[in-house]
Structure 1
Amino acid sequence: MAGIRFQGVSKRFGAVTAVDSVDLEIHDGEFFALLGP
């Protein structure tokens, strides 16, 4: 069972696409870290 689920996530900065249609699933009991600027 997914604790957190993201589907089709996109991020744009003007004309620049930084992230395009990302899917992510983090299950109960898993540890996840996302580092960025």
Structure 2
Amino acid sequence: MIHCQNITIQYGSVKVIDDIDFKVNKGEVFGIIGPNGSGKTSLLKAIGGA
């Protein structure tokens, strides 16, 4: 299970992600979709600890 709360990522004065919450339970399939530049990779890096 993954449970993320209040994820905010900021590069300088630009907020890339602001206050994201989600939970993925065991056995669930979860997708992150969005246009280029919407913060998908930044979110995955934050979850992975990069």
- State the TM bucket, normalised to the shorter chain: 0.7 to 0.9
| Structure 1 consecutive aligned stretches of length 4 or more whose deviation exceeds 4 Å | none
Give the TM-score taking structure 2 as reference length. 0.58
Question: Structure 2 unaligned runs (5+)?
Answer: 34-39, 42-50
Q: Which has the higher contact order (CA 8 A, sep 6+)?
A: 1
The gaps in structure 1 that reach 5 residues or longer are none
Count of matched residue positions in the alignment of Structure 1 and Structure 2: 35
Higher helix share: 2
RMSD of the alignment, in Å? 1.6
Counterpart among 16, 28, 31 of residue 29 in structure 2? 31
Q: Secondary structure at the match of 1:18?
A: strand
Q: Percent identity?
A: 26
Compare CA radii of gyration and give the structure with the larger one. 1
